[in-house]
Amino acid sequence: MNNPKKGALLYQGKAKSVYKTDDPDYLIMHFNDDATAFNGKKHEIVEGKGELNLRICKRIFEFLSDRIPMAYVETLNKKEMLQKNVEIIPLEVVVRNKIAGSLAKRFGKKAGSDLPFPVIEYFLKSDDLDDPQLTRSHIAAFNIANRTEMEIIEELALQINTILKHFFSVRGIVLVDFKVEFGRYYGDILLADEISPDSARLWEKQDESVLDKDRFRHNLGDLIEGYKIIAKRIGA
Ligand code: TMP
Ligand code: ASP
């Protein structure tokens, strides 16, 4: 396709800026070097993070693209991605293979053990409310998404997990958990936003060392070093 021309800033996220294009069906996502955690309370500029995240995300999206319907179209340069202009469903859909992060904290469990099957959780995308957790019944009652949409979302999220868990495992990395977002596009539900070490927990298989944004969240080591290991391992 002819690349649409970049237009006005539509939305300023914490780690990405989203621009309109001259084609209303497409958006440009710019991957910034901002690292944030705890709803933006911790914030640093980490030079090179945007580029690395875009490379990793491109590799993952292109690997998924023949099986998962997605907003991703292509990358435009080292920091920008073209996506279909979906209507984002304001849910953070989290799939977990191991106990970690907020699951460990909320339920007083030790991080690191395997879950017997993938656990799926939903959080409302709301900075003001600190992304509260939702049940499927809240989602229907608050009209966030209808039941048919949620069936599709759950099925896609679990399918993405099956594919990526294997993709990372054969490359020596454990997919502990990840967050995805979906959007509506002319009657379809498409995978949107990003999948990257900002939005997934990825551990070294050999020694369970942390390679993802938890390095930044909990001062577990150099962020760029972890992201570079991931990029190299997956051929990004
Ligand atoms: P959690 O354990 O903090 O709930 O995070 C679960 C997964 O979701 C983890 O892989 C990191 C990702 N995540 C985001 O992408 N954005 C967020 O705002 C949060 C809190 C987590
Ligand atoms: N992305 C969120 C923030 O910027 C939280 C996180 O990823 O830990 O605060």
Instruction: Choose the residue to mutate in 32, 38, 123 for probing ligand 2, maximizing ligand atoms within 8 Å of C-beta.
Output: 38
For residue 48, report the phi and psi dihedrals to the nearest 5 degrees.
100, -10
CA dist 206 and 155 (Å) reads 30
Q: Is 157 in the pocket of ligand 1 (CB under 6 A)?
A: no
For residues 173 and 140, membership in a common domain is answered with: yes
CA 169 to the chain's CA centroid = 18
For residues 40 and 128, membership in a common domain is answered with: no
CA dist 212 and 222 (Å) reads 10
Q: Is 6 in the pocket of ligand 2 (CB under 6 A)?
A: no
Q: Is 13 in the pocket of ligand 1 (CB under 6 A)?
A: no
> Which CATH number goes with the domain that contains 36?
3.30.200.20
Tokens encoding 217 = 């969240």
* pLDDT tens-place values along the chain, 236 residues long: 678 999 999 999 999 999 999 999 999 999 999 999 999 999 999 999 999 999 999 999 999 999 999 999 999 999 999 999 999 999 999 999 999 999 999 999 999 999 999 999 999 999 999 999 999 999 999 999 999 999 999 999 999 999 999 999 999 999 999 999 999 999 999 999 999 999 999 999 999 999 999 999 999 999 999 999 999 999 99
CB neighbours of residue 186 within 10 Å: 8
Ligand 2 atom 8, closest CA:
37
For residues 65 and 120, membership in a common domain is answered with: no
Q: Is 40 in the pocket of ligand 2 (CB under 6 A)?
A: yes
Which tens digits make up the pLDDT trace of 81-138?
A: 999 999 999 999 999 999 999 999 999 999 999 999 999 999 999 999 999 999 999 9
**Reported pTM:** 0.97
Ligand 2 atom 5, closest CA:
37
> Which CATH number goes with the domain that contains 192?
3.30.470.20
Ligand 2 atom 9, closest CA:
39
Ligand 1 atom 12, closest CA:
199
Taken in order 44, 198, 39, 217, is the CA torsion positive or negative?
negative
DSSP 145: S
CA dist 62 and 72 (Å) reads 9
Tokens encoding 200 = 């997934």
- Cβ atoms of 30 and 16 within 8 Å: the answer is yes
Q: Is 177 in the pocket of ligand 1 (CB under 6 A)?
A: yes
For residues 50 and 126, membership in a common domain is answered with: no
Q: Is 38 in the pocket of ligand 2 (CB under 6 A)?
A: yes
Helices (H) and strands (E) in the chain, counts: 6, 14
110 found inside a domain = yes
Domain boundary among 33, 53, 84: 84
SS3 content of the chain, % helix, strand, coil (to 5): 30, 35, 35
Tokens encoding 170 = 């054969």
Domain boundary among 56, 84, 112: 84
SS (H, E, C) 96-125: EEECCHHHHHHHCCCCCCEEEEEEEEEEEC
- Cβ atoms of 163 and 200 within 8 Å: the answer is no
Tokens encoding 71 = 């907003």
Tell me the residue range of the domain where 144 lies: 87-222
Instruction: Tell me the one-letter amino acid at 131.
Output: D
Number of separate domains in the chain: 2
Instruction: Determine which helix (DSSP H) or strand (DSSP E) holds 182, and give its type and residue range.
Output: strand 173-185
108 found inside a domain = yes
Q: Is 210 in the pocket of ligand 1 (CB under 6 A)?
A: no
